Amino acid sequence: MDEYSRFVDWDKMDSSFQSQDVKELTCPELPELKQLARQGYWAKNHSLRAKVYHKLISNIPCRTVTPDANVYRDIVVEIIGKRSSSSLPLPEFVDDSLVPTYCLNAEGIGAVRKIILCIANQFPDISFCPALPSVVALLLHYSKDEAECFEQVCRILACNDPSKRLIDQTFLAFESSCMTFGDLANKYCQAAHKLMVAVSEDVLEVYSDWQRWLFGELPMVYIARVFDVFLVEGYKVLYRVALALLKFFRKVRAGQPMKSDSIQQDIRAFVRDIAKSVPPEKLLEKAFAIRLFSRKEIQLLQMANEKALQQKGITVKQKRQNVHLAVHAENFKSEIVSVKEMRDIWSWIPERFALCQPLLLFTTSEHGCSLSRFYSHSEGHEPTLLLIKTTAKEVCGAYLSTDWSERRRGGSTLSFFGTGECFVFRLKPEVERYEWVIIKHPELAKPGSETENHTSPSSSTLSCSSAPSHSSDHLSPFLSARHFKLPSKTASMFMAGSSECIIIGGGDGQALYLDADLNHGRTSHCNTFNNQPLCSESFQISLLEVWGFLD
């Protein structure tokens, strides 16, 4: 065996780890390195993987004073003393996390606890880091001794590159990552998300496990492949793989009864036994097939979620407020939707707003059918929720990300605004949430388009597309540009309002148009999408409500 075998129980290791078919790796450029990592170039050679890890981790930019192997040798005896390593208590910041053995031998299992305690001694600012035991256990496989493993983990924890996020070390960072994962699951795994909503009381409680799926439940051969790519590409890889796990869980378990009383336990069991249904190559293939936001966009979403938590005073671990607490049965009263239906809607909205309670701002039954009163009651609130009940008993609506006062930017001209977090939905006759699209008013259509001669808002046809087209250096419209002091050109058009009408671009080809008297509306449905229309093409409004979000 090689020099990195000290802590490995080879009898328990997958035979693929012991293959020696790859001997060397030159120093390729980043694009080539990314490809090699994804392909598992060094996955079948234990010694080569150890050398690659050492090279990648040594290149991580760190704080000026970062504990190294010599520090470990100086402090380990004083910290551990004569205590048995197998019975050493773990620090509170690992939050009773699983300590995976990953086919380590007895010495390796004890070394994990020793290293974690020494890290706690050197990093007093770490307050919440449940992924740490898994990372230490994995890197022990590829370390010559405990001191070398300690140094490598310290370099990961001490990374000071603001653009490179590696491991969450505070509850605020961890919790916001769970919210961000929930947002991403809501957008990219809608079928799985719909299942989570149906079988769990608190979806965020389920998604709070997403890091545990990776750093705890995934078998050794899988997490090692994930870690290969993680060291090259960063945190975004973790979101990708967790989303792929969620997709596979839904696919494999579709139509099957739950194996326990908890969906959380079912997902954990699925991930632990994933080798029965999904090989590592298929998992990574699925992960990288997801057209995820850019790293910058995910960082902005994470910032928004952190800000929402800070405003709520949630910066340390506490009992989570679930959606049933946000939508109180005794306090919520709507003439259009039930408490259960509102909770379903609440499960679709961005996680940072799911912490808020619904607040009724406007209703036609009380304030009348006046567009000006609609604006006056809705302005100053962001986001808002629009609910519509038609005379045919259809119920639909829209989540609107931006303050309606933004419509004034264009003066008397119909003004477009909003972000890609906007969406439309249908509750009756069937429940359906539509992914967002950009809406374009005919006046803004390019010359030569089939709608260029239509100029009247009341007679125009809405055009829609399934995805925004923008240059690679622009942020997607998922987040509001002005919230982050970004150029206004990075924002896209999803809402429009004037004194004559309201237009809302929903998704999968759906768009909603309301007349000024709030009595009549119509929908636009692109035939390029295989789905049912939002509601009748032309409809009479029976009731309309606008809801805000109370902190």
Of the candidate ranges 340-349, 362-371, 522-531, the one whose mean pLDDT is the lowest: 522-531
pLDDT tens, position by position, 234-268: 999 999 999 999 999 999 877 677 666 789 999 99
The CA angle 358-359-362, to the nearest 5 degrees, is 130
Q: Which pLDDT score is estimated for 166? A: 92
Question: What is the CATH number that goes with domain 170-319?
Answer: 1.10.472.80
Confidence of residue 22 (pLDDT cuts 50, 70, 90): low
pLDDT at 439 over 60: no
Contact, 341 vs 396, CB < 8 A? no
Structure tokens at 516: 């000024």
Residues 319 and 179: their CA atoms lie apart, in Å, by 15
Q: Which pLDDT score is estimated for 1? A: 55
442 vs 214, higher pLDDT:
214
Listed in sequence order, the residues at least 6 apart from 327 whose beta carbon sits closer than 8 Å to its beta carbon are 339, 342, 343, 346, 357, 358
- Please state the φ and ψ torsions of residue 417, each to the nearest 5 degrees: -160, -170
Q: Which pLDDT score is estimated for 318? A: 54
Confidence of residue 461 (pLDDT cuts 50, 70, 90): very low
Structure tokens at 452: 């260029």
- Please state the φ and ψ torsions of residue 502, each to the nearest 5 degrees: -125, 135
Structure tokens at 122: 């050197």
- DSSP β-bridge partners for residue 363: 545
Q: State what percent of residues in the chain have pLDDT above 90.
A: 45
* Average pLDDT of the residues in 321-347: 76
Q: Which pLDDT score is estimated for 142? A: 95
Confidence of residue 77 (pLDDT cuts 50, 70, 90): very high
Of the candidate ranges 11-15, 203-207, 476-480, the one whose mean pLDDT is the lowest: 476-480
Place of tokens 């590696």: 166
* Average pLDDT of the residues in 45-71: 93
Q: Which pLDDT score is estimated for 339? A: 87
Confidence of residue 124 (pLDDT cuts 50, 70, 90): very high
- Please state the φ and ψ torsions of residue 190, each to the nearest 5 degrees: -65, -40
Contact, 525 vs 510, CB < 8 A? yes
What are the boundaries of each domain within the chain? 1-169, 170-319, 339-442+491-550
pLDDT at 455 over 50: no
pLDDT at 91 over 50: yes
pLDDT tens, position by position, 280-324: 999 999 999 998 878 888 888 888 888 888 877 777 765 444 444
50 vs 411, higher pLDDT:
50
Q: Which pLDDT score is estimated for 501? A: 87
- DSSP β-bridge partners for residue 501: 515
At residue 439, the 3 state secondary structure works out as strand
Of the candidate ranges 275-279, 285-289, 395-399, 482-486, the one whose mean pLDDT is the lowest: 482-486
Tell me the residue length of the chain: 551
pLDDT tens, position by position, 490-510: 334 578 888 888 888 744 456
Residues 61 and 461: their CA atoms lie apart, in Å, by 54
pLDDT, the chain, mean: 81
Listed in sequence order, the residues at least 6 apart from 262 whose beta carbon sits closer than 8 Å to its beta carbon are none
Residues 327 and 6: their CA atoms lie apart, in Å, by 55
pLDDT at 367 over 70: yes
534 vs 348, higher pLDDT:
348
Residues 419 and 402: their CA atoms lie apart, in Å, by 7
Q: Which pLDDT score is estimated for 493? A: 54
Of the candidate ranges 95-99, 492-496, 515-519, the one whose mean pLDDT is the lowest: 492-496
Radius of gyration of the chain from its Cα atoms, rounded to whole angstroms: 26
SS (H, E, C) 402-437: CCHHHHHHHCCCCEEECCCCCEEEEEECCCEEECCC
